[in-house]
DNA sequence: ATGAAAGCGCTAACAG
DNA sequence: CTGTTAGCGCTTTCAT
């Protein structure tokens, strides 16, 4: 057990040096494992022993000040409303810590003023870079102040392309969903899409169509509905689809919440999933998709990976290896469960 | 737009002092809004102007070093698996920032080694206190190292009572659920409980019984089942209840996931909620409860509030106002929706 | 190989 | 009311 606690003045390098009978420099060198300078291995051992004896703990702030380098990245996100934010954080944190960097997380509520203030705070802490993450894929306006430090966007992008960004490959995801359904033999596939215009709706639809055409199926407008992106929206849209003269044998819901609603509409009609009608979702919102009956086959949004790729991009930029504002796209894998 | 950016050496207080033609002390005094000393308001104005001109931004780390006070709290939690962690973070962050404190968030995966390491890291950053939050209410073993700094537990408690803690009032929650059902006229109420032994199961059951007895209803063992705490577990348990010779007219599910399963069991039998049978949940896992059809009436777990109370407790302890390890209990409100 | 000394940006006594 | 001085804990030349 260490000998210092919050009450006693913390053990410093000076104490360690004194205890080991060496200079502060020596201590610093040893403790930082600097092998570019050669020191007597006996000295090294003495220092290590002294540090252990005294329960020495480096002061990260002091080191940052001396080195002019904080080892911190700031992550700003709308944490409150975001079941997804957690995954981005997880991915970013893991990746960052493998680089010896830490994450300072600032949550905002998409209030631009609060957002700028939050970033200001991060800059006062001298973060070396910023990750700006959105909860749904879209164009964003990053506060100007973010330009003072390398910044990368996650699950969003700058309308004028001024920042590097990482976003999900919506198109490939839509294609993958369609292909899965086609592979199961479906030809009449209903599509319950999100609000038209947003990147997720556009991309998923494009991929969906591309896959259909490649399989020789012409997309049918009658089978496509844009619903309100909730369970209720999914319920209504699915109900509409099922009332068609020639109803689809499968439904692709552009998110899991709508799929949840579609399940209800389907079950209400006494139909069985997937025997009578197959359903595939998008997002992989675990809480829903894993617990629906039957469990929902869906396309996952790779939040964790986006977080980690975001940090990669940031590391590159910080290191000055690259200053171009490329947009990296990450794949949306299929999660096979039991609804197809 | 400010005149400094990441490339140029940042503007320091010295620069501001020079620009304003005053001493560094004066700058420090003005910028910290110290009204205990009196300075010429003209000086004050000059300093402010200079700071603005130069785009001065205080260096939080340097200030912390000088003041021997970081203004940081560390929050450690199993973030990955936790849809709830976010809410605790939100509550804690809001409360902390109103005290001028920041939160350093460390996520662990309930691996004790990683956990100690994470705390070690926080201590290196010289956090003034620690909040240790669990994702489900239980007794925990906090790493010894946490003792070096004031620490409070959220949604968990130390088996030996060595730390102050804030936990949900499970008992009152269970009582509230029962009372709601009783108020709707139900007398035969099924109870699908969590794994026996855990605080949530024990407390909710006690409260449930207490309310029943007060209403003159004797708890009936036949109506109580401990299920696996998932949608499947809820499905099976509800099915069992519905097969009873005298089935219940309402079911209290000890969490929303089980309620989700119960819905399916109920609907499969052609029964309507709440007309034929009422359902009440616990936890208020929004993604589920708000989107089920009908939306689920449930008892909310007050994560956000626990986070904020946790910070309060920590502030007290840090300020030395209190060193006792009291356990604060916070209320679980009823969320009225449409299933009762 | 080791130690002395300067400095990172800021605060806080204390003297003017 | 202002300026000087001395740290805070650590890193990093630069002599020795």
Alpha carbon of B213: minimum distance to chain A alpha carbons (Å): 34
- Are both B286 and B318 inside the same structural domain? no
pLDDT at A140: 95
H or E element, residue A330 = strand A327-330
Residue A337 lies in a domain: no
Residue B337 lies in a domain: no
Contacts of A314 in chain B (CB under 8 A): none
pLDDT at B2: 37
- Are both B24 and B104 inside the same structural domain? no
Q: Residue B43 class from Cβ within 10 Å (0-12 exposed, 13-18 middle, 19+ buried)?
A: middle
Task: Give me the residues of B, 41-70, that contact A with CB < 8 A.
Answer: 57-62, 64-65, 70
| A246 and A188 Cβ atoms separated by less than 8 Å | yes
- Are both A150 and A205 inside the same structural domain? no
Judge whether residue B25 contacts strand C, using its CB and a 7 Å cut-off. yes
pLDDT at A7: 37
Contact: B124, A60; criterion CB under 8 Å: yes
B151, B208, B326 from B157: Cα distances, Å? 11, 23, 10
Nucleotides of C under 7 A from a protein CB: 1-5, 7-14
- Nucleotide D5 C1' to residue B49 CA (A): 27
Task: Give me the residues of A, 165-224, that contact B with CB < 8 A.
Answer: none
Alpha carbon of B143: minimum distance to chain A alpha carbons (Å): 12
Q: How many CB atoms lie within 10 A of CB B326?
A: 12
Identify, with chain letter, the residue nearest to nucleotide C6 (CA–C1').
A66
Identify, with chain letter, the residue nearest to nucleotide D5 (CA–C1').
B25
Contact: A79, B60; criterion CB under 8 Å: no
B197, B237, B249, B300, B335 from B173: Cα distances, Å? 17, 21, 20, 8, 11
Contacts of A4 in chain B (CB under 8 A): 148
- Nucleotide C8 C1' to residue A103 CA (A): 23
Answer whether 0.85 is exceeded by the pTM. Answer: yes
Q: Residue A245 class from Cβ within 10 Å (0-12 exposed, 13-18 middle, 19+ buried)?
A: exposed
Return the closest nucleotide (C1') to the Cα of A24: C3
Task: Give me the residues of A, 274-313, that contact B with CB < 8 A.
Answer: 285, 287-288, 291-293
- Are both A191 and A287 inside the same structural domain? yes
- Are both A138 and A209 inside the same structural domain? no
- Are both A317 and A231 inside the same structural domain? no
Instruction: Calculate ∠ Cα A50-A54-A56, nearest 5°.
Output: 95
- Are both B126 and B192 inside the same structural domain? no
Alpha carbon of A99: minimum distance to chain B alpha carbons (Å): 14
- Are both A232 and A160 inside the same structural domain? no
The residue range of the domain holding A41 is 3-58
- Are both A258 and A275 inside the same structural domain? yes
Domain count, chain A: 3
**Best interface-test mutation with A: which of B56, B60, B101, B227 has the largest number of A CBs within 10 A?**
B60
Query: d(Cα B105, Cα B108) in Å, to the nearest integer?
Result: 10
Low-confidence residues in chain A, pLDDT < 70? 1-9, 35-39, 80-82, 323
Residue A339 lies in a domain: no
Contact: A83, B257; criterion CB under 8 Å: no
Judge whether residue A25 contacts strand C, using its CB and a 7 Å cut-off. yes
- Are both B179 and B293 inside the same structural domain? yes
Residue A144 lies in a domain: yes
Bridge-based pairing state of the strands A297-300 and A278-283: parallel
Judge whether residue B125 contacts strand D, using its CB and a 7 Å cut-off. no
Please tell me which of the candidates B124, B147, B291 has its beta carbon nearest to residue A231.
B291
Low-confidence residues in chain B, pLDDT < 50? 1-8
- Nucleotide D5 C1' to residue A134 CA (A): 49
- Nucleotide C9 C1' to residue B80 CA (A): 37
Residue A13 lies in a domain: yes
Residue B121 lies in a domain: yes
Q: Residue B97 class from Cβ within 10 Å (0-12 exposed, 13-18 middle, 19+ buried)?
A: middle
Q: How many CB atoms lie within 10 A of CB A58?
A: 15
Please tell me which of the candidates A57, A105, A123 has its beta carbon nearest to residue B124.
A57
Contact: B291, A230; criterion CB under 8 Å: yes
- Structure confidence by residue, pLDDT tens digits, B196-242: 999 999 999 999 999 999 999 999 999 999 988 999 999 999 999 99
Residue B243 lies in a domain: yes
Return the closest nucleotide (C1') to the Cα of A57: D9
- Are both A222 and A296 inside the same structural domain? yes
Judge whether residue A161 contacts strand D, using its CB and a 7 Å cut-off. no
Identify, with chain letter, the residue nearest to nucleotide C11 (CA–C1').
B66
CATH number at residue A197: 3.40.50.2300
Contact: B86, A90; criterion CB under 8 Å: no
Residue B64 lies in a domain: no
Q: Residue B47 class from Cβ within 10 Å (0-12 exposed, 13-18 middle, 19+ buried)?
A: buried
B109 touches chain A (CB under 8 A): no
pLDDT at A44: 83
CATH number at residue A46: 1.10.260.40
- Are both A34 and A109 inside the same structural domain? no
């Amino acid at each position: 057990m260490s000998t210092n606690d919050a009450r006693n003045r913390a053990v410093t390098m000076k104490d360690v040096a004194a205890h080991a009978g060496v200079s502060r420099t020596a201590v610093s060198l040893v403790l930082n494992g600097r092998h570019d300078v050669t020191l007597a291995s006996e000295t090294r051992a003495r220092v290590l022993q002294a540090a252990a004896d005294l329960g020495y703990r480096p002061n990260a702030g002091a080191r940052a000040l001396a080195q002019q380098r904080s080892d911190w990245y700031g992550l700003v996100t709308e944490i409150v409303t975001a079941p997804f934010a957690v995954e981005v954080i997880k991915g970013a944190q893991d990746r960052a810590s493998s680089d010896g960097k830490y994450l300072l997380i600032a949550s905002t509520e998409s209030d631009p003023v609060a957002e700028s203030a939050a970033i200001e705070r991060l800059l006062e802490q001298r973060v070396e870079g910023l990750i700006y993450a959105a909860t749904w894929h879209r164009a964003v306006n990053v506060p100007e102040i973010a330009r003072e430090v390398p910044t990368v966007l996650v699950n969003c992008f700058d309308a004028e392309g001024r920042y590097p960004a990482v976003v999900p490959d919506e198109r490939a995801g839509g294609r993958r969903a369609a292909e899965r359904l086609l592979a199961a033999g479906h030809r009449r596939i209903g599509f319950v899409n999100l609000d038209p215009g947003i990147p997720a709706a556009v991309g998923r639809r494009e991929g969906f169509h591309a896959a259909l055409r490649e399989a020789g199926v012409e997309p049918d407008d009658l089978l496509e509905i844009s619903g309100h992106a909730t369970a209720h929206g999914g319920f209504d849209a699915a109900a509409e689809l099922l009332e068609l003269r020639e109803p689809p044998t499968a439904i692709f819901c552009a998110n899991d919440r709508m799929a949840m609603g579609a399940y209800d509409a389907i079950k209400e009609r006494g139909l069985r999933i997937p025997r009578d009608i197959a359903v595939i979702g998008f997002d992989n919102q675990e809480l829903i998709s894993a617990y629906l009956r039957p469990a929902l086959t869906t396309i996952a949004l790779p939040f964790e990976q986006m977080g980690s790729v975001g940090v990669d991009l940031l590391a590159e930029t910080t290191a000055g290896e690259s200053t171009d504002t490329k947009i990296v796209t990450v794949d949306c894998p299929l999660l096979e469960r039991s609804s197809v």
